[in-house]
Amino acid sequence: MTLSKKSIELPLRQDEHGVIRIGDSRVSLDLIIQSWQNGFSAEEIASQFTAISLADVYASICFYLQNQEQVDAYLAENEKLAKALRKEIESTFPSSALRKKLLQNRPQ
């Protein structure tokens, strides 16, 4: 039996905000890789994100494994931006009054 090589088309695209998404979905590469790093199987990830196929999940994981240093840098940068945004939002809309109110209403 002879095997013919078939090239795999990566299901990755970068949106207008620089986020790498899977295919035409809104599922980000970040979510796939974080789920996989948290111990979920490709099958579990595909069932969790029904907008993408199992093949897309495997292709995304394969891309990560072949480009781990670059993808880790991308993920770290996204995390840094998310923390900065979270800090900005929390300073603009302080939650201390809301937290105090919620704690007062909490059953003892």
Q: Are 36 and 45 in contact (CB under 8 A)?
A: yes
Q: Which CATH number fits domain 12-105: 2.60.120.260, 1.10.510.10, 1.10.10.10, 3.10.450.50?
A: 1.10.10.10
Task: Write the CA distances from 97 to 68, 91, 101, 108, integer angstroms.
Answer: 43, 13, 6, 19
pTM: 0.77
Once rounded to an integer, what is the mean pLDDT over residues 56-70? 96
pLDDT on residue 103: 81
Once rounded to an integer, what is the mean pLDDT over residues 39-44? 98
Distance of CA 93 to the CA centre of its chain: 26
| Nearest CA-CA partner of 23 in 44, 43, 53, 45 | 53
pLDDT on residue 79: 93
| Band of residue 91 on the pLDDT scale cut at 50, 70, 90 | confident
Cα–Cα distance between 64 and 21 in angstroms, integer?
13
Dihedral in degrees, nearest 10, Cα atoms 44, 37, 29, 61: -80
pLDDT in tens, 9-31: 899 999 999 999 999 999 999 99
Sequence ranges of the domains in the chain: 12-105
Distance of CA 63 to the CA centre of its chain: 14
